[in-house]
Amino acid sequence: MTGPDNQLPAGGILGLLDLVEEKLLCLMLTAMIVLACLQIFLRYVYSGGLLWIDPLLRYLVLWCGLVGALSATSQGKHIALDLTAGRLPPAIEPWLTLLIHLFSLLASAGLTWAGGLFLRGEIEAGGAGPLALPLWFWNGIFPLVFGLMTMKYLLLFSMQARKLLAGNNHTNCRAS
């Protein structure tokens, strides 16, 4: 179900967040391309490379995937199974959208919680990752992205609920 009911308004703080997501994705993709090409060049020409590039690229791929999923959430372009397309009466579709937003909200909240537990374990275990940064820094993307995704789904859910309640109030007023 991708459409206007699955998109957040572009203004205000959400617009700023979308802009930051877009710029961060561009920066990370550029860094990945440059580092991968450098590593290929070093391996081809010097039969060796820089040890820190491969782990860094793995974390950048992870970060790009998660930030990209967050960006797709705002645009309503995330992966969706639309099993009901054209099969339900139009009056039920908005309620199904509300239910889907609620499920997505609860799922992302659960993933935020799990990401927090994972991050706490990483902090307790210690260890260094690429660029001598602690591993918890690189894995902190999990609760961060899923927390932001939870907030976006909360907004989508509340906007859809408000729209449905406003529509029902107008319907009741017209009927009387």
Does the residue 3 lie in any domain?
no
Residues 6+ positions from 27 with CB-CB distance below 8 Å: none
pLDDT, residue 176, reads 34
pLDDT, residue 6, reads 57
Question: Is pLDDT of 130 > 50?
Answer: yes
pLDDT, residue 5, reads 55
Does the residue 1 lie in any domain?
no
Q: What is the pTM of this model?
A: 0.82
Does the residue 2 lie in any domain?
no
**Burial zone of 97 (CB within 10 Å; 0-12 exposed, 13-18 middle, 19+ buried):** buried
Single-letter amino acid code for the residue at 126:
G
Distance CA 64, CA 97 (A): 27
**Distance of alpha carbon 152 from the chain centroid:** 9
- Residue 80, sorted as left (phi over 0), alpha (psi -120 to 50) or beta, turns out to be beta
Does the residue 157 lie in any domain?
yes
Domain that holds residue 143: 11-78+88-175
pLDDT tens, 16-57? 888 899 999 999 999 999 999 999 999 999 999 899 999 999
Residues 6+ positions from 71 with CB-CB distance below 8 Å: 18, 21, 22, 25
Question: Is pLDDT of 169 > 80?
Answer: no
3-state secondary structure of 76: coil
Domains: count for the chain: 1
Backbone angles phi, psi at 134, to 5 degrees: -65, 150
Reported confidence tier of residue 175, pLDDT bands at 50, 70, 90? very low
- Helix axis angle, 53-75 relative to 141-175, nearest 10°? 10
Does the residue 4 lie in any domain?
no
pLDDT tens, 79-91? 666 666 667 787 8
Distance CA 68, CA 28 (A): 11
Which two tokens mark 168? Answer: 């029902």
Considering only CA atoms, which of 67, 61, 53, 59 is closest in space to residue 139? 59
